[in-house]
Amino acid sequence: MKSIVFFTFFIFMLFFVACSTLAPSTTLTPVPTSTLPPTSTRTPLASPTHAFTPTPSSTPTLTPKPTLTFVGGGIVKLAYLNRSGTIKVVELNHKKVIANLVATRKAKVVIRWSPDGRTLAYLSSGDDLTPVRLILWTIDTTTIELQKFSEDPEIREIFWSPDGKWVAYTTSVIIDGRKFYSGGLGTINIETKTAYQFDVAFDPQWSLDSTQLFYLDRAGHLIATDPTGSDKHEIHANISMYNYAGFLEKEGLIIRRNMDGTGLTLSPITGGADHQIHFPKGFPCAGGIRIAPQQKLLIADCNFDSSVIALGEEITVKTLPRDYIAGWTPDESSIVLVEAGDILIENIKTGDYLVYKFDYRIFDIFEASRSSSMDVVWMFP
């Protein structure tokens, strides 16, 4: 036992002596870090400010000149198809809905006001089992069924005679195996409800006195006919149906679209020099040309910027806003535009205008389709 204790003590002493004789560890003296010179403070250069002096914009005068004195008491009525399939009739400047009409769900919906703004022509069917009907609705809420179709007539457009006694409509037609969407023509006498069907008739329009229709036949002849189609005669020949756009009866001018789409050419049927009308900005126009009943205004519905053209001794061309619904006043001196909560009535020649404000949200106008499914009209109260 003593030997074990002695041996342990001996080992401990050897360890103690060894540790106590080690050289002391070297004390490391830290090298002082060099002090970096202070960074220079840079003052940013003040970039010169350009003082833009705004050009004062002239405030347009909304006081109508004599050309617009009739506007103050007018009523702007809009008829349009909303997404639920209802045709709404709205008096915009009076801010009220005056009718909700049932549209067709089996065919393209076309809506057109009569020249006096008191009767609306539209297509209706009610449901899938009801035939498509051409209906007249008057502002005194009278509804008249003009014609009932056994199948979808594929009506593309409806247009009234200037005296409001006839309604004409265009339909699709197949020629040599090719479908044309506006090559058929029908007319209806409103008083007798008698309907008449024509052969191929492109771009039909009424004469100024409502006694004739002008159209282009499949052979490229400009034809004049009475509304029943029983008395036809040729006015001019050798017209291409691909650039024909209409006929100005009073001046005897054929309207042609330029081949590049950037304007119109007015050609006298008696010969003589053509007159060129160029659309603003030179954008091509592939849409239709709408001719006002008295032929004082044309509206070129284009893919980009549409144009309104005021005819006369001097021709005035004005670009229209892209999102608009366009019509004209009864005397065709001014255009009626509905756009983004404003009703703008502007004289194309003088530039005078009036503006009505309305809240488009309460009418759901911008849920509608902006084509033949909308129509605006200005009328006397």
- What are the chain's domains? 66-284+360-379 (2.120.10)
pTM: 0.74
Q: Which ranges of the chain have pLDDT less than 50?
A: 1-72, 367-370
**The two structure tokens encoding residue 304:** 């980009």
pLDDT at 57: 31
Identity (one letter) of the amino acid at 135?
A: I
pLDDT digits (tens, 9 = 90+) for 130-181: 678 899 999 888 888 888 887 777 888 899 999 999 999 998 888 788 877 7
Q: What is the DSSP letter of 136?
A: E
- Work out the end-to-end distance of the chain between its first and last CA atoms, rounded to an integer number of angstroms: 135
pLDDT at 4: 46
Rounded to whole angstroms, how far apart are CA atoms 108 and 121?
Answer: 13
**The two structure tokens encoding residue 272:** 């003589």
pLDDT at 195: 94
pLDDT digits (tens, 9 = 90+) for 282-328: 566 666 788 988 899 998 877 667 788 898 878 888 888 766 778 88
**Would residue 364 be called left, alpha or beta, if left means φ above 0 and alpha means ψ between -120 and 50 degrees?**
left
pLDDT at 337: 83
pLDDT at 137: 92
